[in-house]
Every structure is written in C-alpha cells, then in structure tokens.
Amino acid sequence: MADSKGMIATLLRAEKQAEEMIANAKKNRLAKLREAKAAADEELKDFRDKEEANFQKAIGLQHKHNPADELKATTERELQMVQQDYQNNKAKTIQYVVSKVLDVPIELTTTQKQALKAGMC
C-alpha cells in the first residue's frame, strides 16, 4: 500500500507539474500574441504613415498641377496668337476693304437694265 501511496503522490506531483507547464505555456502564448500584436500594430502604423505621406505628396502635386491654371495659360497663348494674326493681317484687310469700296463698276448689268426698262414702260 505504501507503494501505491508513493505512486499516487508521484502522479499528483507530475499532474501538478503538468498543470504548471500548461499555465506557463498559456502565459508564454499570451505574451507572444501580445508581442505579435504590438509588432503588427507598429508595422501597420509605419505603413499608414508611409501611405499618408504618399497621399499628401500626391495631393500636393495635384494642387501644384491645377487644371484651371493650365487652361488659363492655354487660353492666354491662344489669345496672343489671335492678336498676332490680327496685327499681321490688319493692313491687308483694310487695303482689301477700301479697294472693294472704291472699286464700284459704273456700268449697269443686264438685269439692272431690264429692270429699268420694265419700270419705264
């Protein structure tokens, strides 16, 4: 009987040691999970910071590349081209209009003559 009591005591000690090992393993597992979570949070924070910086940089470039400013510059260039065309062709146009105004034929066309004859009869 003493032998069986010794075995029971040994089994109880082994069971207690196993429970302690399990408890330690659970503690270690929780500690490792917390460490992994902290590392993942830190990595996520770094990623977010990097992406936020890229986003702000892209937004900044968009603000610098304003389509309204580009349209304004294009319109200004085209306006200058129109003004240049006007200056280049102004003298020729005036000369053409004056020559047409002063170049009045003195003879009546056949149609005009027929109209006058029809009205005189």
Give the model's pLDDT for residue 69. 78
Give the model's pLDDT for residue 63. 66
For the chain, 121 residues long, give each residue's pLDDT as a single digit of tens: 668 888 999 999 999 999 999 999 999 999 999 999 999 999 999 999 999 999 888 887 766 667 777 888 899 999 999 999 999 999 999 999 988 888 877 888 888 888 888 887 5
User: What is the span of the domain harbouring residue 100?
Assistant: 71-104
Any domain includes 111:
no
Residue 105, Cβ neighbours under 10 Å: how many? 6
User: Are 2 and 47 contained in the same domain?
Assistant: yes
| Domain count across the chain | 2
Give the model's pLDDT for residue 59. 80
What kind and span of H or E run contains 86? helix 67-102
Residues 6 or more apart whose CB falls under 8 angstroms from that of 108 comprise 116
What is the C-alpha to C-alpha distance for residues 111 and 9, in angstroms, rounded to an integer?
141
8 Å CB contact between 108 and 116:
yes
